[in-house]
Structure 1
Amino acid sequence: MKKWTRSPDPEPAAGGSRLSPHAEMLRDRFLAAPVVAAPDPWRPADRPFAPVGGLTGVGFGLHPDSGRDLLMAVSHNGHGLFDTVTGERIARDPEGDDPDGGDLACQGLGPLADSRIRIAGLYGGGLHTTAVGGWSVEVVSPDWPNDRVLLSGAGGSPYRGAHGEGWWHVFHSAWSELRAFGFSPSGRSLAVATSSDVTLWTRRA
């Protein structure tokens, strides 16, 4: 009588997990994509990078006079308010509290002092992942715990088509923990926040 034996399990992929051929293909695709500049109409803010030690979350508001997007960053060291076009910090409150309430909001500061700003980050919530014009943004982690932020244009997708032709790897969080990413409600700004900094892009008119 023929004796049946169990076939050996496939060798585990890097990190100890077993990936399907499709998942392995996607992992290789994302690992091979270098960080590149965001495409038109996106450009970095004039000062695109702002260090914010101990950052826990961010949220958007509109300047009551100019209508320009503003980004509020919440950290263990207080709150800061940034102009998303210039990247300049225009207000700071060293005594700001953590988000509270069901909407995870904080009291605004500077030009937003009369508003409450919903905050996305360590305590929950999220920013917009789509914007007018068919833009979208998502995160993949082929070498977790490092995160990659991918921006896609109308009809583009990180799951098909070549990198740089419909989708772009615009940010790689390899040194700090990702806290939040996404567009402003107006769709004119894009922010990526980690535990140590904020990176800003703005959209040309």
Structure 2
Amino acid sequence: MRWTKKAAPVEQSDREPELSAYQRAMRNRLLAAPAVPAPEPWRRVAFEPVGGLLGIGFASHPDSGRDLVMVVSHDGHGLFDAVTGEKIARDRDPDPVDSTPDAVADLSCPGLGPVAGSRVRIAGLFGGGLHTTTEDGWTLEVVAPAWPNERVLLSGDGGLPHPGPHGERWWHIFHSNHSELRAAGFSPSGRTIAVATSSDLSLWTTEVRSH
């Protein structure tokens, strides 16, 4: 047997590379931006406690076409009207076979209420994702200048690095400093923003509530 010389182990530094001046300035700008209300035409319609939230997904009402938000948690499934923020359906005991999205390859769960009989793709703890842009120019980003606390930024300037002042073309609309962020994004229609953490659901809409 032929023996070869054992290579010396590669030394690894215990220190992370320092941030550049540009990166430090960007981090400081993000840290200095307080959480503020979303700009018009967005309005917040829900901040709903949901213990043990695992993920969320969007669907459309088969009659009105309005955005719906499905929530999957350890306590079952729920469905919210994204224009009013109201819970319109609840299943506390879904079939264990596919009660969580990781049971199937496309990360979906069976719909309920007006979307029963269809499946809704869920983004959150098990993977998946939501739209980060809209056709009319809005962008949603998740940043963590003070990890693990994540912040959700809404902008009309195309996203980072946000050259303008905070509150003019970009807004820090949600600070996840109380629970772990699960998902954040727009509905496919671009009319709804949903932000989900392990303990709550927040919704914003551009639609006017009808009476």
Q: What TM-score, normalized by structure 1, do the two folds share?
A: 0.88
CA deviations on 1:152-188 (whole Å, 9 max, x unpaired) are 1155644311111111000000000000000000111
Q: Judge conservation of contact 2:162–2:170 (CA < 8 Å) in 1.
A: no
Counterpart of 1:166 in structure 2 is 169
Q: Within the alignment, does 1:108 sit opposite 2:114 as a pair?
A: no
CA distance, structure 2, for counterparts of residue 170 and residue 116 of structure 1:
30
CA distance, structure 2, for counterparts of residue 199 and residue 168 of structure 1:
16
CA distance, structure 2, for counterparts of residue 165 and residue 42 of structure 1:
14
The structure carrying a bigger strand percent of its residues is: 1
Counterpart of 1:186 in structure 2 is 189
- Segments of structure 2 that go 5 or more residues without pairing to the other structure are 1-14
Q: Judge conservation of contact 2:53–2:71 (CA < 8 Å) in 1.
A: yes
Which residue of 50, 53, 59 corresponds with 2:51? 53
Q: 1:1-205 to 2 correspondence within 5 Å?
A: 18-45=18-45, 48-96=46-94, 97-99=99-101, 100-155=103-158, 157-204=160-207
- Segments of structure 1 that go 5 or more residues without pairing to the other structure are 1-11
CA distance, structure 1, for counterparts of residue 17 and residue 206 of structure 2:
40
- What is the aligned length? 189
Report the secondary structure of 1:29's partner residue. Answer: helix
Deviation at 1:102, TM superposition (A): 1.8
Q: Judge conservation of contact 1:148–1:171 (CA < 8 Å) in 2.
A: yes
Q: CA RMSD in A?
A: 1.5
Q: What TM-score, normalized by structure 2, do the two folds share?
A: 0.86
1:70 maps to amino acid: L
CA distance, structure 2, for counterparts of residue 69 and residue 124 of structure 1:
22
Deviation at 1:42, TM superposition (A): 0.8
